[in-house]
Structure 1
Amino acid sequence: MAILAVNAGSSSLKFSLHPLLGGQVQPHVLSGNIQGLEPGGSPEMGWQYRGAKHHRALAAHEGASVFAVALDSLRELIQGLDGAPAIDAVAHRVVHGGGEFTASVCVTEEVLSRLARFNSLAPLHQPHNLEGIRRFRTAMPQVPQIACFDTAFHAAMPEVDYAFALPRELRAQGVRRYGFHGLSYQYIMSVLQEKTLRGRGRVVMAHLGNGASLCAAQDGTSVATTMGFSALDGLMMGTRSGSLDAGVLLYLLEQGWTHAQIERLLYKQSGLLGVSGISADMRRLREEAAEGSADAQCAIAQFTHRVVRETGALTACLGGLDLLAFSGGIGENDVLLRQQVCERLAWTGLHIDAQRNRAADGKQAWAIHAPDSRIEIWVVPTDEGRVAAREAAALLESTQALQQACAP
């Protein structure tokens, strides 16, 4: 038996297969990504199984849905594995659960309808997450589809952090801070608490990738985060602006900008891409910066500055810092960024070990602090799929237990 964890995007589907052993979710045995799922796209599937990488183009027949072709190919791949496991449930990453969904749920039509109300708060993610669930429900009607929310980890944040300085009637309508990247933070926290006692203290976690945020946690619970009402707030990101003076939006409206133009600006034309004018990919910007591109250097410096600035703010919220953790595509792989961030935070008593920092390979949790550092520093490769699988398994177990208890 196994849980299939998926993350459906606008043109891709990430997946990982997690066996159940003694009721416990195991690390994935199969993982991959199907790309080219936009209408008229040319789907391709890449996957890793038993340490070997594979890739193939998927044949989409004329008139056939590329997503349906992708799901058929994924099922064939799983069924072709040695000792092909039965799928107990499909666990879906859903970015926004609002204030209504603070724990994972089994998806029904009513749940889908309620979740669709948050589409405008995460337009790059939410509509595609929900469309993925609909497709899987059609393809696997007998398999429970479980929605696991990025916002759930932050549900216990104190009001002083989640409330905006706006009239209460707007808060009653759901205008408040929610926080995101919760599945990632939940995984990072679980690893830290296994590895070090400091994981139960004052922790700042940095999920740095195309989407980027920071989270402050005390005793494993989120108490503050940089993302807010939508996935636009906080840090500068790949193509998203991060925190922005609301007066800029008023100015753009006065200049005749439409809602669609502003949405595209903030979600797709800003961040590393907008500042550099080159790319949203930090790896490409590092290459350009090394060759002397002032625009690439400016974008990297601004990104680094925002991470340092917001880490300082969250440290103040915690009343000090015991541990700083890096994760996400940039956080796990960009040696220079980690070094620069930590050097600028040295006033806290945080000291990075340059050799250990270079040795972090993004494949395992790795401590990179120097022996004299008052604060521990870790690199923790995240695994949102495994958290989603755990959530789904726990929900299925509790549902079965409830059904048995209520049986005549």
Structure 2
Amino acid sequence: MKILIINSGSSSIKYQLMVMPTNEVICTGMIDRIGLETSNVIFKTPSNTIEETLPIANHKVGLQKVANMLLDADKGVIKSTSEIAAVGHRVVHGGSAFSDTVKIDEAVKLKIKELFELAPLHNPANLEGINVAEEIFSDAEQIAVFDTAFHQTMPEVAYKYAIPNYLLTEHKVRVYGFHGTSHKYVSAKAIDYLEKNSKIITIHLGNGCSMTAVKDGKSIDHTMGFSPSNGLIMGTRSGDIDQSVIFYMVKNLGYSADEVNSILLKQSGMLGLTGYSDLRDIEAEAEKGNKDCILALQMNAYRIKKTIGSYAAALNGLDAIVFTAGIGENSSYIRNLVCTDMDYFGIELDQEKNQIRSKEIREINVPNSKAKILVVPTDEEYEIAHQVYQLLQS
């Protein structure tokens, strides 16, 4: 069964065509800078890579370009769009309405639209991708996979804020959690590796960062909250901050609400602390002795360490911590900062193993470490395809 995975962002489309259940990747690619004259188009197969720069006016033009490349007589991979059995769409916010993958109908699209105000950058683009895909891949089942779905198992004590109840019941203000597709995938891989249901903390570190407490395969707590801006320090997002700072900036410093929002989402985090948002640059500067970069990395690791402690308490034990995503998988520097002086929790890092890079799941703790330290490469495209396939087979 051929399944096309589409991740439609505000100015980009990422896609991958897979065969399930064999997990064969037929092609992968992306289009970014949509809406500009210099949009980047990438199309990769095992034997070819095509890269172009051309104007892509909107998502409809972009997805039509994807279809044209898939169907290309010389370098394409299918002869008809009817070969695609299903299109799996990543949808960032499903609110509390969706706890699983669903077939898309008008009611589902309406609910995604109702959630625009909770994910103004993501859900509109996700829905546009769905609408266009329905036209271009009209023979395929359209399936939605929600980033928030994995966290719908969180208990009320974890997802409810200590604010007036009507804000939850009438306005849906609560913890939703994000990066769920990644956390679900790597926690399942860790459970398979450990060969038992376990108490696991998954640590997704990319430009966006989050952590999840996973008990027996289910999310019970998560660092991101009502939006993806809460929790850990991120590339440009502040993470946790006293809400009084916002009021102070508006009342005393003269910023508008939109300006404060922009500062906290786009100018803060590692960028605000160091002037750099890319961790590779920050690590390089830290090695040169840049004090701001050294402190920022220490702050980042400190917040992760504190969260490990609180989640170990919530789980009443700890079998493993799992590092994943671009930084989690590749930065031995960050993993070392996080895992140093954690032997109280039974977390002891093997420095030599920590330096090894691999695309496979790997264990980087010393042999007698009570809690395993795992690096698990995430694969959100596979997880989406897997969930789509399971839904269609059920």
Residues 330-349 of structure 1 aligned to structure 2 (within 5 Å):
330-349=327-346
* C-alpha distance in 1 between matches for 2:277 and 2:221: 27
1:202 maps to 199
Provide TM-score, normalisation by structure 2: 0.92
1:151 aligns with 2:148: yes
Closer, same or farther: CA 84–138 of 1 in aligned 2, 3 Å: closer
1:122 maps to 119
1:383 aligns with 2:379: yes
* C-alpha distance in 2 between matches for 1:386 and 1:139: 22
Residues 8-407 of structure 1 aligned to structure 2 (within 5 Å):
8-20=8-20, 24=21, 26-37=23-34, 39-50=35-46, 54-60=49-55, 65-79=57-71, 80-81=75-76, 86-173=83-170, 174-197=172-195, 200-255=197-252, 256-276=254-274, 278-361=275-358, 363-398=359-394
* C-alpha distance in 2 between matches for 1:117 and 1:250: 28
Closer, same or farther: CA 309–41 of 1 in aligned 2, 3 Å: farther
Residue 41 of structure 1: CA displacement?
Answer: 4.0
Residue 197 of structure 1 aligns with an amino acid whose one-letter code is E
Residue 144 of structure 2 aligns with an amino acid whose one-letter code is A
Q: Is the 8 A contact 1:27 1:386 kept in 2?
A: no
5+ residue gaps, structure 1: 399-408
* C-alpha distance in 2 between matches for 1:27 and 1:175: 41
Closer, same or farther: CA 261–366 of 1 in aligned 2, 3 Å: same
5+ residue gaps, structure 2: none
Aligned length: 387
RMSD of the TM alignment (CA)? 2.0
1:49-95 Cα deviation digits (max 9, x unpaired): 32x572411433xxx63433432332233234456682111111111
Q: Is the 8 A contact 2:37 2:54 kept in 1?
A: no
Closer, same or farther: CA 381–149 of 1 in aligned 2, 3 Å: same
Q: Is the 8 A contact 1:7 1:14 kept in 2?
A: yes
Closer, same or farther: CA 123–291 of 1 in aligned 2, 3 Å: farther
Closer, same or farther: CA 306–288 of 1 in aligned 2, 3 Å: same
* C-alpha distance in 2 between matches for 1:127 and 1:18: 25
Closer, same or farther: CA 105–220 of 1 in aligned 2, 3 Å: same
1:101-129 Cα deviation digits (max 9, x unpaired): 11122223432232123233233422322
* C-alpha distance in 2 between matches for 1:99 and 1:83: 37
Q: Is the 8 A contact 1:7 1:129 kept in 2?
A: yes
- Percent of aligned pairs with the same amino acid: 36
Aligned with 1:137: secondary structure?
Answer: helix
Q: Is the 8 A contact 1:44 1:55 kept in 2?
A: no
Q: Is the 8 A contact 1:156 1:221 kept in 2?
A: yes
Q: Is the 8 A contact 2:202 2:212 kept in 1?
A: yes
Residue 25 of structure 1: CA displacement?
Answer: 5.5
Residue 262 of structure 1: CA displacement?
Answer: 2.0
1:402 maps to none
Provide TM-score, normalisation by structure 1: 0.89
Residue 189 of structure 1 aligns with an amino acid whose one-letter code is S
Q: Is the 8 A contact 2:148 2:179 kept in 1?
A: yes
